[in-house]
Every structure is written in C-alpha cells, then in structure tokens.
Amino acid sequence: MLNTLLRNPSLLIGGVIVLTLGVIAILAPALATHGVEQMDMANRLQGPSAAHWLGTDNFGRDLWTRLAYGAQLSLGVSALAVSLSVLLGTTIGLVAGYFGGWVDMVLMRITDIFLGFPALILAMAVVAVIGPGTPNLVAAMVLVFWTEYARVIRATTLSLRSRAYVDAALTGGASHLKILFREILPNAQGPIIVLATLGFGTAIITESALSFLGFGVRPPAPTWGGTLAYGTRFLSQSPWLSFASGLTIMLACLGFNLLGDGLRDMLDPRSRLRDGGATA
C-alpha cells in the first residue's frame, strides 16, 4: 500500500488534498472559529489575523468559517451530482452497449445531442427554466454530466459483451439483468471510478461557476463561487477575499484531478499516455 502511494505521487498528493477537504467539510462546525452568519461591522474586509485566520468579508463575517462551511456545500452538491450522473450514465451505457441494435442507436444519438451543447451553457439554461436552488442545481449538473459515463460504459460493455464468460453465462441460463450486474458491471468498475473522480473536479468548478454567475445555491449560503463573486466588488480594498476563495476552488479541483490521474495509472497502467482533466 505504502509502496504504491510512494511510486504514484499524483495518487498521494491528490489523496491528501481530497482527504483534508473532506475532513474540513465534515468537521466544519467544530473547526469554525465564528458563526457562519456572524457579522462584525467594525471589522469588515480585514486581512488575515489571529482572530480571523483568513480575514473577514464585507459584513465582517469570518472567511475561514465560511470557506469551511462552503466545503460542505461544494463537496456535497458535487458528490450528489456525480453519483446521480454515474447512476444515470452507467445505466444508459450498459443498456446501449449490451442490447445493441436500435436501442443502442437511439440512446447514443440522444447522448450525442446532449454532448453537442457546451456543458455550462446547458446547465445555465436548465437552471433558467426550472429556477434556482440547490436541488435544481444538482438536476442541471446531472443533465450535463451523464453523457460522458454513458459513452465510456457503453464502449466497455461492447467489448465485454463478446467475451467468452458472458456467452457461458448466457448459455448457463443467466438472465440479462444478472449478466449485466454480475458479469459486466464489476469489470467496468475501473473506468467508472477514474471518470467519477475526474468528474468531481469538473463538478466543483461547474458548481462554483454557476454560483459565481448567481445561478447556483442562493446567498447567503457560503458557496465558494458566491464568495469569489462578491469578493470581486472589493478587489482593490481586499483582494484577499477573491484570492482565498478562488484558491480553495482550485485546490479542490487539483486534488480530484491528481487523484483521478493517480487512480488511472494504478488501475490501468497502459492508459498512462492518454490524457484528460477537468476545467471550465
């Protein structure tokens, strides 16, 4: 275990960053030094100090506290969006790849259509239609993220479908459902784990971008993107506000990207040369 980690610095560094952010999110109430909405107008827009580790915002709210609670929001929303996208995308990919024929054709054409929209723009349109708010934000993200999983799982399923052990199971009288869940899905786990980890980075940036534009989780919720957005209004007096919140978003995305790269190297060493990553 330790050897694997030492030989794979991406996995190690990415894992440490992700783990740290996860712990901060879970322990936010214990780690917070102030109340999340606790205002202190006498100490607005302060730089880092002993009392306020990362300074304060325009209402004198403690930035460290808000970023820690923001981790709960950003990681929570992203985790939900990624899990639901994996569920939807994997199901569609499995069905398309396994049954083939016109089922495959129809499902893949629909996937192509969704892939044809730039992701963030489709997400914005969806939020515009169904309205802002956290559940709607998650729905919008799922609607733009599922396609990637569907395509990869379909390709994996197609190649697994023709293996001898699937034929053997079919001959042995196993049902389609059983073959899909017992024979094919376990063998498609590697790509799903890698894609989902990299997708987490994309989800964090997308959530921040939507919050930044004002279409994400509603204020006064302490989202990273929202903090960054109102920080720009005080850029000349207190650049720290935008700087720290943006750095947090970048660190989170970096962590998941490194972890994803590391997992890919570990699970599928041949793919070391292929490339990918999340950005928005």
Asked if 200 interacts with another protein (CB under 8 A), we say no
| Residues 105 and 95: beta-carbon distance below 8 Å | no
Contact range with another protein by CB under 8 A, out of 41-49, 72-80, 86-94, 207-215: 207-215
Asked if 279 interacts with another protein (CB under 8 A), we say yes
Contact range with another protein by CB under 8 A, out of 42-50, 71-79, 148-156, 246-254: 246-254
Please state the closest distance from residue 66 (CB atom) to another protein, in A. 17
Asked if 88 interacts with another protein (CB under 8 A), we say no
Asked if 33 interacts with another protein (CB under 8 A), we say no
Residue that the structure tokens 């923001």 belong to: 70
Look at residues 237, 211, 206 and name the one whose alpha carbon lies nearest to residue 224: 211
Asked if 121 interacts with another protein (CB under 8 A), we say yes
Residue 142 neighbours by CB distance under 10 Å: 22
Asked if 145 interacts with another protein (CB under 8 A), we say no
Look at residues 194, 197, 198, 221 and name the one whose alpha carbon lies nearest to residue 208: 221
Provide the H-helix boundaries in the chain: 2-7, 9-26, 28-31, 63-99, 101-115, 119-130, 134-161, 164-171, 176-178, 185-187, 189-213, 224-231, 239-267
Contact range with another protein by CB under 8 A, out of 18-26, 69-77, 160-168, 241-249: 241-249
Footprint of another protein (CB under 8 A):
109-110, 112-114, 116-122, 124-131, 201, 205, 208-209, 212-215, 225, 228, 231-232, 235-236, 239, 242-243, 246-247, 249-251, 253-254, 257-258, 273-275, 277-280
